[in-house]
Amino acid sequence: MAETNEARVDKWLWAARIFKTRSIAADAIKNGRVTISGMNVKPSRMVKAGEVINVRKPPVTYSFKILKTIEQRVGAKLLPEIYENVTAPDQYELLEMNRISGFIDRQRGTGRPTKKDRRALDDFVGPAMEGYGDFDFDFDEDDI
Protein backbone atom coordinates (compact mmCIF):
# COMPACT_ATOMS: atom_id res chain seq x y z
CA MET A 1 0.00 0.00 0.00
CA ALA A 2 1.92 2.99 -1.30
CA GLU A 3 0.92 5.98 0.80
CA THR A 4 1.69 9.53 -0.25
CA ASN A 5 0.49 12.79 1.25
CA GLU A 6 -1.64 13.58 -1.83
CA ALA A 7 -3.60 11.62 -4.43
CA ARG A 8 -5.82 12.39 -7.42
CA VAL A 9 -9.46 12.31 -6.38
CA ASP A 10 -10.50 9.98 -9.25
CA LYS A 11 -7.73 7.51 -8.40
CA TRP A 12 -8.54 7.70 -4.68
CA LEU A 13 -12.26 7.02 -5.25
CA TRP A 14 -11.36 3.99 -7.36
CA ALA A 15 -8.62 2.75 -5.01
CA ALA A 16 -10.94 3.09 -1.98
CA ARG A 17 -13.54 0.96 -3.82
CA ILE A 18 -16.19 3.67 -3.85
CA PHE A 19 -16.46 3.27 -7.64
CA LYS A 20 -15.88 0.06 -9.59
CA THR A 21 -13.62 1.65 -12.22
CA ARG A 22 -11.57 4.80 -12.45
CA SER A 23 -13.45 5.93 -15.56
CA ILE A 24 -16.79 5.66 -13.70
CA ALA A 25 -15.26 7.72 -10.88
CA ALA A 26 -14.03 10.36 -13.38
CA ASP A 27 -17.46 10.50 -15.06
CA ALA A 28 -19.17 10.99 -11.68
CA ILE A 29 -16.77 13.82 -10.88
CA LYS A 30 -17.30 15.48 -14.28
CA ASN A 31 -21.09 15.25 -13.84
CA GLY A 32 -20.91 17.09 -10.50
CA ARG A 33 -21.76 14.13 -8.26
CA VAL A 34 -18.56 14.46 -6.21
CA THR A 35 -17.88 17.51 -4.04
CA ILE A 36 -15.21 18.48 -1.54
CA SER A 37 -16.11 21.22 0.97
CA GLY A 38 -19.28 21.90 -1.04
CA MET A 39 -17.33 22.65 -4.23
CA ASN A 40 -17.43 20.65 -7.45
CA VAL A 41 -13.99 19.32 -8.36
CA LYS A 42 -12.10 18.04 -11.39
CA PRO A 43 -10.79 14.45 -11.63
CA SER A 44 -7.21 15.72 -11.37
CA ARG A 45 -7.81 17.52 -8.04
CA MET A 46 -5.37 16.38 -5.38
CA VAL A 47 -6.86 15.28 -2.04
CA LYS A 48 -5.19 15.08 1.36
CA ALA A 49 -5.85 13.14 4.54
CA GLY A 50 -8.51 14.79 6.70
CA GLU A 51 -10.66 16.08 3.81
CA VAL A 52 -14.30 15.02 3.52
CA ILE A 53 -15.59 13.88 0.13
CA ASN A 54 -19.32 13.85 -0.65
CA VAL A 55 -20.42 11.37 -3.31
CA ARG A 56 -23.99 11.56 -4.61
CA LYS A 57 -25.32 8.19 -5.74
CA PRO A 58 -29.05 8.89 -6.03
CA PRO A 59 -31.02 8.88 -3.84
CA VAL A 60 -28.24 9.06 -1.21
CA THR A 61 -25.27 11.39 -0.70
CA TYR A 62 -22.43 9.51 0.99
CA SER A 63 -19.71 11.32 2.95
CA PHE A 64 -16.22 9.89 3.46
CA LYS A 65 -13.41 11.31 5.59
CA ILE A 66 -10.03 10.49 4.05
CA LEU A 67 -7.65 8.80 6.50
CA LYS A 68 -4.96 7.76 3.98
CA THR A 69 -4.32 8.94 0.44
CA ILE A 70 -3.68 6.04 -1.91
CA GLU A 71 -3.66 5.59 -5.68
CA GLN A 72 -3.38 1.80 -5.81
CA ARG A 73 -6.46 -0.34 -5.20
CA VAL A 74 -6.40 -2.24 -1.90
CA GLY A 75 -8.27 -5.21 -0.50
CA ALA A 76 -11.68 -4.68 1.07
CA LYS A 77 -10.37 -5.63 4.52
CA LEU A 78 -8.01 -2.61 4.51
CA LEU A 79 -10.75 -0.04 3.81
CA PRO A 80 -11.24 1.01 7.47
CA GLU A 81 -7.62 2.32 7.35
CA ILE A 82 -8.31 4.30 4.13
CA TYR A 83 -11.51 6.21 4.94
CA GLU A 84 -14.16 6.72 7.58
CA ASN A 85 -17.80 6.72 6.52
CA VAL A 86 -19.35 9.88 8.00
CA THR A 87 -22.63 9.72 6.08
CA ALA A 88 -25.58 11.22 7.97
CA PRO A 89 -28.10 8.68 9.34
CA ASP A 90 -31.00 10.42 7.54
CA GLN A 91 -29.39 9.47 4.20
CA TYR A 92 -29.64 5.79 5.14
CA GLU A 93 -33.29 6.31 6.13
CA LEU A 94 -33.86 7.79 2.69
CA LEU A 95 -32.22 4.74 1.12
CA GLU A 96 -34.44 2.40 3.16
CA MET A 97 -37.58 4.33 2.20
CA ASN A 98 -36.59 4.15 -1.45
CA ARG A 99 -36.00 0.40 -1.17
CA ILE A 100 -39.40 -0.15 0.45
CA SER A 101 -41.29 1.91 -2.12
CA GLY A 102 -39.25 0.68 -5.08
CA PHE A 103 -42.26 -0.38 -7.15
CA ILE A 104 -43.56 3.18 -7.45
CA ASP A 105 -40.40 4.72 -8.89
CA ARG A 106 -38.99 1.94 -11.04
CA GLN A 107 -35.64 2.45 -12.72
CA ARG A 108 -35.79 2.81 -16.47
CA GLY A 109 -34.88 -0.41 -18.25
CA THR A 110 -35.74 -2.78 -15.40
CA GLY A 111 -38.44 -4.38 -17.51
CA ARG A 112 -42.07 -5.01 -16.78
CA PRO A 113 -43.33 -5.10 -13.21
CA THR A 114 -43.68 -8.54 -11.68
CA LYS A 115 -47.16 -9.80 -10.80
CA LYS A 116 -46.50 -8.85 -7.17
CA ASP A 117 -45.36 -5.34 -8.21
CA ARG A 118 -48.41 -4.95 -10.44
CA ARG A 119 -50.81 -5.91 -7.64
CA ALA A 120 -49.10 -3.54 -5.23
CA LEU A 121 -49.33 -0.77 -7.82
CA ASP A 122 -53.02 -1.50 -8.40
CA ASP A 123 -53.67 -1.41 -4.64
CA PHE A 124 -51.84 1.90 -4.42
CA VAL A 125 -53.57 3.57 -7.39
CA GLY A 126 -56.89 1.74 -7.10
CA PRO A 127 -58.72 3.92 -4.55
CA ALA A 128 -57.84 7.12 -6.40
CA MET A 129 -59.08 5.73 -9.69
CA GLU A 130 -62.34 4.36 -8.20
CA GLY A 131 -65.29 5.19 -10.41
CA TYR A 132 -63.08 6.65 -13.13
CA GLY A 133 -64.18 4.18 -15.80
CA ASP A 134 -67.90 4.24 -14.94
CA PHE A 135 -69.20 6.29 -17.85
CA ASP A 136 -72.59 5.94 -19.41
CA PHE A 137 -72.19 5.88 -23.17
CA ASP A 138 -75.91 5.74 -23.94
CA PHE A 139 -76.51 8.60 -26.33
CA ASP A 140 -78.39 9.10 -29.52
CA GLU A 141 -76.86 9.97 -32.85
CA ASP A 142 -78.79 13.24 -32.70
CA ASP A 143 -76.66 14.29 -29.68
CA ILE A 144 -73.54 14.40 -31.85
Q: What is the pLDDT along the chain (144 residues), one digit of tens a residue?
A: 555 689 999 999 999 999 999 999 999 999 999 999 889 999 999 999 999 999 998 888 899 999 999 999 999 999 999 999 998 888 888 777 777 765 555 566 677 778 887 888 777 766 655 555 555 556 566 656
**pTM above the 0.85 mark?**
no
pLDDT digits (tens, 9 = 90+) for 129-142: 555 555 555 656 66
Which CATH number do you get for residue 32?
Answer: 3.10.290.10
CA end-to-end span of the chain: 81
- Domain residues for 13? 1-87
**3-class SS at 34?**
strand
3-state DSSP assignment of residue 123: helix
The Cα 72–Cα 35 span in angstroms is 21
Q: Using CA atoms, how far apart are residues 75 and 144, in angstroms rounded to an integer?
A: 75
Q: What is the pLDDT of residue 50?
A: 92
Overall domain count for the chain: 2
Asked whether residue 28 falls in the same domain as residue 73, the answer is: yes
Residue 144 maps to a domain: no
Are 115 and 82 members of one domain?
A: no
